[in-house]
Amino acid sequence: MSTQAVRAHPGFADFRQRHLTDMIVELETCRAQTPLMIEAQHQVIGRLIVGLHCASRHDQPQTWATIARLQTVVARCGLASARSVSEIVARLRTRGLVDTPRSPTDGRVRLLRPSIILVDHDRRFLSALLGGLTEIFTDGRYDAIAAGEPLAHARYRAAWAARAEETVEPFRWNAPMRLLYRRGAGMPLLFTILRDQYAQGRCELGFGELGERLGVSRTQVRGILEAGRSEGLFEFSRIGGGPIATRRMCDAFDELLSACAVAYTAILEDAESTRGRMSSS
């Protein structure tokens, strides 16, 4: 299915609204349980660690989840420097989200092993991220992931780690989404504004209320929205109420959502091809 077909699908509006709602709920849960994972780079690197771990084989050293392999994948995606990756892994380890045991077959090598907390977080996140696609793909292909089944999650993450660059690509050519992705709470802020705007016509939350909901300062919210307004992505009402996402912002989000849906589905097909060959990690 093409991006155009996804956007034209009669279930697209329901997919978008469910995606926004599910992601907001997951981010609120994350803020309460694993707040470090709200930040975008920590999110991606944590998920790559899970994926590389799921794809590793004890008898195949080239598949092991190591810091060097992680740095290679992150560099290929253009997400962070090798030094930044090492610093983020150290923070994840300090918070008990990642362990770095020595390989049982080669003591010189330290492996990256996600904790149960990180795996559970990632399984919930993946369910929120992809669950809405059941509104478009009604053949059941996304049901297991939407339900948070551990084996479906492990298969998908292993396949995703091998093709992570494809899910980053839509951000590279989508300047509005790239701007928000790089601004700390930018994506959660957008989810909140769009969810309310599509559900009730507009977001009624002011800067302070948005900050409270997202766990950031009013100043940070204003800074993100001012940066977006300078690019024609948001407007501020003169009669009260919250910020308004412009048509350009809404179109950019729909473009991203449809492009990611295509990439996610290609990865799911790869994951399904490993059915029967992969055991739960």
- On whether residue 65 sits in a domain, the answer given is yes
Q: How far apart are the first and last CA of the chain?
A: 31
- On whether residue 273 sits in a domain, the answer given is no
The one-letter amino acid at 12: F
The total number of structural domains that make up the chain: 1
* Secondary structure of residue 108 in the 3-state scheme: coil
CA 277/CA 168 separation, integer angstroms:
27
pLDDT in tens, the chain (281 residues): 899 999 999 999 999 999 999 999 998 888 877 777 777 788 889 999 999 999 999 889 899 999 999 999 998 888 788 899 999 999 999 999 999 999 888 888 899 999 999 999 999 999 999 999 999 999 999 999 999 999 999 999 999 999 888 888 888 889 999 999 888 789 999 999 999 999 999 999 999 999 998 888 999 999 999 999 999 999 997 766 789 999 999 999 999 999 999 999 999 999 998 775 554 44
- On whether residue 53 sits in a domain, the answer given is yes
- On whether residue 184 sits in a domain, the answer given is no
If one counts every other C-beta atom within 10 angstroms of the C-beta of residue 161, the result is 23
Backbone angles phi, psi at 60, to 5 degrees: -130, 90
Residues 6+ apart with CB under 8 A from 9: 15, 136
CA 189/CA 170 separation, integer angstroms:
19
* Secondary structure of residue 17 in the 3-state scheme: helix
Domain range enclosing 105: 8-165
- On whether residue 155 sits in a domain, the answer given is yes
Residue reference for tokens 């994972």 = 37
* CATH code of 114's domain: 1.10.10
Residues 6+ apart with CB under 8 A from 2: 262
Q: How far is CA 184 from CA 169, 179, 220, 280, in A?
A: 19, 10, 9, 33
Tokens for 169?
Answer: 């690509």
- On whether residue 98 sits in a domain, the answer given is yes
- On whether residue 152 sits in a domain, the answer given is yes
